[in-house]
Chains A and B, each alone.
Chain A
Amino acid sequence: MNLTVQARRFMAGLLPLILLVGLTPLVVTNAYYLNVLNVTALNVLVVTGLNLLIGCAGQISLGHAAFFGIGAYVSAILTATYGVNPWLALVAAALATALCALAVGAPTLRLKGNYLVMATLGFNIIVNVLLIQWDDLTGGSGGLTGVPPLVLFGLPLDTDYRFFWLAWGAALIGLLPARNLLHSHVGRALRALHDSPAAAASCGVPIEGYKIKVFVVSAVYASVAGSLYAHYFGIVTPRTFDIFKSVELVTMCLVGGIGSLWGGLFGASFLTPLPQLLHVFEEHQDIIFGAVLLLLLIFLPQGLVGRLEEALARRGIGGAVMPGDSLEERP
């Protein structure tokens, strides 16, 4: 195959990961652990999309839980209430989310500065209140139940084990278009945008259009994850999609390494099970979670994977194991 150096590096990282994911269900058979792993995969999908936005366009969104929620609720309502085919509903949900993202992003991404973070934060809270108050449609704060499982080749994905393959399949496949987007001319333009908007604009990069597109794509990632979530759990509740979830998602990007796809993967895989692990500490869970986060952000702002990449680069093997790094190309 004719692959570029970056593409080979990416595949070199991806193949062991596929192997790891493929072997996991042989070792992990406990339903609870599988459940945590499945949620992790869905978070990876959202975080991959979010990383595209944060890493490339240099913008944060505190509204991705809302896009996650719109995906979940549109899927849930269409299938549970109206009996629409789940796969069709997933596409409809993605379209609806894309339109919402366009409506929020188009006016605010034209502005200099971090107005997107304020707008998405407001948007998330509005969506959350709507999910609670519009109870004819959404089931109110109790949520909406009876969402049917997805069916793939006649096989209903209604167990943790079966869903594992779909969730992690989606999470890994989701890395590919993200990686390709980063390394296409659009990706290069976006990185230029991240480094110097003025220089990018003067080279003829249509800043606004690219930013809005990447924002919409990143929202669609969240929406697809939301649809999968709804069909997996069979129930959606507003609390799952509140502003704290958005904060958690951005945190996963930061802890792993901003703008690095592997970083996001790692951040989601580290932070999703953490509260479950900390559950033994019961009441002190938030304190430990907050403290870990605080220490990481203060002392390791480049993220855990970012730090590893730096260490590898110093030894002269930079990028060999950690390809797909979006922020800088190594020779």
Chain B
Amino acid sequence: MAAHAALSQYLISGLTTGSVYALTALGYCLIYNATKVVNFAQGDFLSLGGLLFYSLLSGLGLPLVPAFVLAVAGVALAGALMERLCLRPARSRDLMVLIFITVAASILARGLMKTVWGKQTLPLPSISPEIPLRFMGAAFTPQNLWVLGITLAAILGLKHFFDRTLTGKAMRAMAANPRAASLMGIDTAGLTTLSFALAGALGALAGILITPITSLSYDVGVLLGLKGFAAAVLGGYGSFAGAVAGGLILGLLESLCAGLLSSAYKDVLAFLVLLLVLFLRPSGILGVKEGRS
């Protein structure tokens, strides 16, 4: 393979996984901005999205589009329920306790998914038939395009939501100053639930898109979730633009590392980047500089 072909191959696979990291990182940001909680169940939203989509398609035999919509809605509901049932009733407002409530929720969710769907790998079909495509010497499938397209649509949708709608603006106000926002009559409790639902929906999208390429099982979201977390830190934790940038950069770095250096250490890279960012520039690429004391 010629050098430029190899490079465009890395580019395509890097952007594909990078998109999924970006979606995951956006989920972390949404919940962080609403509650300052790092949601360790974000990865489980990915698994659940893929698993629900699989069951709706193969189990119930639904057509593609309704199955897709229902799977995303289902995980959004799971996100909202997690906020309502686990975080809202918590007796402590200590962040550390709240963060570990998400850890416990994640353990519980993985246990439930293991019981319902079993431990085995499930075959999730791609969104459209696997026709090999070629572009600039790189081989890819329509699934790569679906990942890129749907991620782009989701990002534009979110941007529209936060810039143009009243709910989105209220959510930004709440992130900036929850107390002031609630004094202005903004329903912060409702918006917090909505943030979790949106984070669930984004996680579901990421899961539905990536699991046909990787594989689908009840714990597939664990590593993807942690890498999405690294991407969020890289971009600047809490920054939406940073989450997208961090996700794409991490995806590209990983694919270059796997291609040019060593695929054995591919999974380390995200966390090396995480440590380097924390050591050198803890506010991330696009985050607000508030890390320095």
Interface residues of A (CB under 8 A from B): 54, 60, 104, 107-108, 110-115, 117-119, 121-123, 125-126, 129-130, 133, 243, 247, 250-251, 254, 258, 283-291, 293-294, 297-302
Give the chain B neighbours of A129 by CB distance below 8 A: 265, 267-268
Q: B283: nearest residue on chain A (CB-CB)?
A: A111
B282 touches which of A115, A243, A297 (Cβ 8 Å): A115
Some 25 contacts from A to B, beta carbons below 8 A apart, are A107-B279, A111-B282, A111-B292, A112-B293, A117-B99, A118-B278, A121-B274, A122-B230, A122-B275, A122-B278, A123-B271, A125-B226, A126-B271, A247-B103, A250-B100, A251-B104, A254-B100, A284-B111, A285-B111, A287-B112, A290-B106, A290-B107, A294-B108, A297-B101, A299-B89
State whether A107 touches B96 (Cβ < 8 A): no
Give the chain A neighbours of B110 by CB distance below 8 A: 286, 290
Give the chain B neighbours of A288 by CB distance below 8 A: 111
Smallest CB separation, A109 vs chain B (Å): 10
Tell me the interface secondary structure of chain A in the complex. Answer: helix
State whether B92 touches A301 (Cβ < 8 A): yes
Interface residues of B (CB under 8 A from A): 38, 86, 89-92, 94-97, 99-101, 103-112, 114-115, 226, 229-230, 233, 264-265, 267-268, 271-272, 274-275, 278-279, 282, 290-293
Give the chain A neighbours of B104 by CB distance below 8 A: 251, 290, 293-294, 297
- CA–CA, A287 to B293, complex, Å? 41
Contacts A108-B279, A130-B268, A286-B107; is A301 near B293 (CB within 8 Å)? no
- CA–CA, A47 to B269, complex, Å? 29
- CA–CA, A129 to B271, complex, Å? 10
Smallest CB separation, B283 vs chain A (Å): 10
Contacts A111-B293, A112-B293; is A294 near B279 (CB within 8 Å)? no
Contacts A126-B271, A294-B86; is A108 near B100 (CB within 8 Å)? no
- CA–CA, A61 to B233, complex, Å? 17
Give the chain B neighbours of A285 by CB distance below 8 A: 111
Give the chain A neighbours of B226 by CB distance below 8 A: 121, 125, 243
Give the chain B neighbours of A299 by CB distance below 8 A: 89, 91
Give the chain A neighbours of B101 by CB distance below 8 A: 294, 297-298
Give the chain A neighbours of B292 by CB distance below 8 A: 111-112
State whether A283 touches B115 (Cβ < 8 A): yes
- CA–CA, A301 to B89, complex, Å? 11
Smallest CB separation, B268 vs chain A (Å): 5
Smallest CB separation, B79 vs chain A (Å): 16
State whether A301 touches B94 (Cβ < 8 A): yes
State whether B100 touches A286 (Cβ < 8 A): no
Give the chain A neighbours of B38 by CB distance below 8 A: 114, 117
- CA–CA, A278 to B108, complex, Å? 14
Give the chain A neighbours of B94 by CB distance below 8 A: 301
Give the chain A neighbours of B233 by CB distance below 8 A: 118
- CA–CA, A250 to B104, complex, Å? 12
Question: How many A-B contacts are there with CB distance less than 8 Å?
Answer: 125
Q: A290: nearest residue on chain B (CB-CB)?
A: B108
- CA–CA, A117 to B282, complex, Å? 13
Contacts A60-B96, A297-B104; is A125 near B271 (CB within 8 Å)? yes
A107 touches which of B100, B230, B264, B278 (Cβ 8 Å): B278
Give the chain B neighbours of A60 by CB distance below 8 A: 96, 99
Contacts A254-B100, A297-B97; is A126 near B107 (CB within 8 Å)? no
Give the chain B neighbours of A289 by CB distance below 8 A: 107, 111
Smallest CB separation, B57 vs chain A (Å): 25
Contacts A125-B268, A126-B272, A297-B101; is A114 near B95 (CB within 8 Å)? yes
State whether B90 touches A122 (Cβ < 8 A): no
State whether B100 touches A115 (Cβ < 8 A): no
Give the chain A neighbours of B109 by CB distance below 8 A: 290
Q: A104: nearest residue on chain B (CB-CB)?
A: B275
State whether B278 touches A300 (Cβ < 8 A): no
- CA–CA, A299 to B87, complex, Å? 11
- CA–CA, A287 to B107, complex, Å? 7
Give the chain B neighbours of A54 by CB distance below 8 A: 96
State whether B91 touches A298 (Cβ < 8 A): yes
- CA–CA, A70 to B275, complex, Å? 18
State whether B291 touches A122 (Cβ < 8 A): no
Give the chain B neighbours of A294 by CB distance below 8 A: 86, 101, 104-105, 108
Q: A117-B38, A119-B279 are in contact. List 6 more A-B contacts (CB 8 A).
A: A60-B99, A112-B293, A121-B229, A125-B267, A251-B103, A300-B91
Residue of A123, A130, A258, A294 with most partner-chain B CB within 10 A: A294
Give the chain A neighbours of B106 by CB distance below 8 A: 290
Give the chain B neighbours of A284 by CB distance below 8 A: 111, 115
Q: A201: nearest residue on chain B (CB-CB)?
A: B293
Give the chain A neighbours of B272 by CB distance below 8 A: 122, 126
- CA–CA, A160 to B97, complex, Å? 36
Give the chain A neighbours of B112 by CB distance below 8 A: 287
- CA–CA, A122 to B233, complex, Å? 11
Q: B106: nearest residue on chain A (CB-CB)?
A: A290
